[in-house]
Amino acid sequence: MTAIRVLLVDDDPLVRAGLSFMMGGADDIEIVGEAADGGEVEALVDRTRPDVVLMDIRMPTVDGLTATERLRAREDAPQVVVLTTFHADEQVLRALRVGAAGFVLKDTPPTEILAAVRRVAAGDPVLSPSVTRQLMQHAAGTAADTRRARARARMAVLNDREREVAVAVGRGLANAEIATGLFMSVATVKTHVSRVLAKLDLNNRVQIALLAYDAGLLDEEQGEQGERERH
């Protein structure tokens, strides 16, 4: 089995040492490099070819948000998991919007951090439905109407089935759950998700969820469900 290659990016050497020590005991994970600032990341990625980057947000010269945006704009970009001390920080939300696959808290138990790395390497976002809702609720507020109009315009390129899948992703459902709910195979769900990502020029399922929320599709779906239940 090929080990998951991980790059650690944090300006605190103690955090890097702790993560390196903890991950060093996992047979399926290999630490291929460390960086103390976001400005070092692209060169290290070119040299070490990581599968996953664990990225701190607050760094003195180039922050993790900028580094994440630069990385995710590249072809064959590694997945990025944001390291943070907050559950619903505005900068975490911005990192997710530019392509991070999720986040983990710095005080997360080691087994959960290892699980997060494995999930992201496998293509799954590291956000539970409850955390996704918390982040999206945190995003509501300033310029919400403008954001909704723009999101609706972007979502208009989807056909009805793709829109249904996008809403299901926004609800935090896994592919198997979406397949059951929409009466299709898991392979078909994966195809629809890939098409949604391509049509909307997005990197991952987290961004689909955020865009669906911005467009108000989750509110509409909940309202329709409530109307069905009343009848």
The model carries a pTM of 0.70
pLDDT greater than 50 at residue 226: no
Instruction: Identify the residue with better confidence: 117 or 90.
Output: 117
Amino acid at 124: D
**Torsion 89-90-91-97 (CA) sign:** positive
73-113 per-position pLDDT tens digit:
888 889 999 888 766 567 777 888 888 888 888 888 888 88
pLDDT greater than 90 at residue 200: yes
The answer to whether 57 and 84 are in contact (CB under 8 A) is yes
Secondary structure (3-state) at 60: coil
The answer to whether 100 and 82 are in contact (CB under 8 A) is yes
pLDDT greater than 50 at residue 52: yes
Helix/strand number for the chain, H first, E second = 12, 5
Q: Alpha-carbon distance 43 to 49, whole Å?
A: 10
Give the residue carrying structure tokens 């010269």. Answer: 61
Torsion of CA 169, 172, 176, 178, to 10 degrees: -50
Q: Alpha-carbon distance 184 to 190, whole Å?
A: 10
Average pLDDT, the chain: 84
Q: What is the per-residue pLDDT for 60?
A: 87
Q: Which of 88, 75, 73, 177 is nearest to 124 (CA)?
A: 177
**Number of Cβ atoms within 10 Å of the Cβ of 172:** 17
Q: What is the per-residue pLDDT for 6?
A: 96
> In this prediction, what percent of the chain has a pLDDT beyond 90?
44
Q: What is the per-residue pLDDT for 33?
A: 95
- 3-state helix, strand, coil split of the chain in percent (to 5) is 60, 15, 30
142-162 per-position pLDDT tens digit:
556 677 888 899 999 999 999
